[in-house]
């Protein structure tokens, strides 16, 4: 899943980004309310994790503005403000769930999964597919022609990104930024290595390959020509 974390505390943000990344989720982060509001309104996310006390614009104002603009992305408030009135205010502002710090990561993960299972999420994208390749974003499973394919979390993220951009050319830089969150060239072959592993799992035992190398440009995942 693609998540937006609006959190000004670097330590908390790093902890969450690492943990959610290890679960195969793509996490983008904003450290202030104004930038978070811009991202949440202009990009597509599956869930927003929002702190209440933020520089620039507080979390309640962010969520109220989004709801007023018709943005229905589920919101989990994550905050130190744990009083009953605080919780009520957060939910009344448009939040879908409320978790106070300190928190157990397993509980946060369970609450995120619960948000994604809610009936009003039915119109959200829960499956990606190209040809006979299918990815269930809720169950976090991948099959090709009905055959289950086991992927490591980073491989799952890589394939999810390729599926979300199926038919397009995806450059090495795009993969570094959006799958590994590198905003510089690490001078490693991490992309090539993981593409090779992914190909071995989803293409090797099938007649037609889905992941194509576009010479001098990058990669493209598409059904058979």
Q: Cα(37)–Cα(65) distance, rounded to whole angstroms?
A: 8
| CATH number among 3.40.50.300, 3.40.640.10, 3.10.450.50, 3.40.50.2300, domain 2-117 | 3.40.50.2300
- Cα separations in angstroms, 65 against 4, 33, 58, 71, 178: 16, 11, 11, 9, 27
Q: Cα(78)–Cα(5) distance, rounded to whole angstroms?
A: 10
Mean pLDDT taken over the chain: 89
Structure tokens at 150: 């086991």
Sign of the CA dihedral with 188 first, then 180, 8, and 42 last: positive
Whether the predicted model's global pTM rises above the 0.75 cut? no
Q: Where in the chain is the domain with CATH 3.40.50.2300?
A: 2-117
Asked whether residue 7 carries a pLDDT value surpassing 70, the answer given is: yes
Reported residue count of the chain is 225
Q: Per-residue confidence at 183, pLDDT binned at 50, 70, 90?
A: confident
Which of the two residues, 207 and 58, has the higher pLDDT score? Answer: 58
Q: Where in the chain is the domain with CATH 1.10.10.10?
A: 127-221
Q: Cα(156)–Cα(25) distance, rounded to whole angstroms?
A: 9
Structure tokens at 25: 């989720």
CATH of the domain spanning 127-221: 1.10.10.10
Asked whether residue 189 carries a pLDDT value surpassing 60, the answer given is: yes
């Amino acid at each position: 899943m693609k998540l937006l974390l609006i959190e000004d505390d670097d330590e908390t943000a790093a902890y969450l980004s690492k943990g959610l990344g290890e679960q195969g989720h793509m996490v983008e982060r904003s450290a202030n309310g104004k930038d978070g509001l811009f991202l949440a309104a202009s990009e597509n996310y599956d869930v927003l994790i929002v702190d209440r006390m933020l520089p620039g614009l507080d979390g309640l104002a962010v969520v109220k503005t989004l709801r007023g603009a018709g943005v229905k992305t589920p919101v989990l408030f994550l905050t130190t403000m744990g009083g009953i009135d605080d919780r009520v205010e957060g939910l009344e502002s448009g939040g879908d769930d409320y978790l106070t710090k300190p928190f157990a990561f397993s509980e946060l993960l369970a609450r995120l999964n619960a948000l994604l299972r809610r009936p009003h999420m039915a119109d959200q994208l829960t499956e990606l597919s190209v040809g006979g390749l299918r990815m269930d974003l809720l169950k976090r499973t991948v099959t090709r022609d009905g055959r289950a394919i086991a992927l490591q979390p980073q491989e799952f993220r890589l394939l999810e990104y390729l599926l979300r951009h199926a038919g397009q050319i995806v450059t090495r830089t795009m993969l570094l930024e959006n799958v590994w969150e590198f905003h510089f060239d690490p001078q490693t072959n991490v992309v090539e290595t993981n593409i090779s592993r992914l190909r071995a799992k989803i293409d090797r035992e099938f007649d037609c390959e889905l992941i194509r190398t576009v010479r001098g440009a990058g990669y493209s995942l598409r059904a058979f020509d």
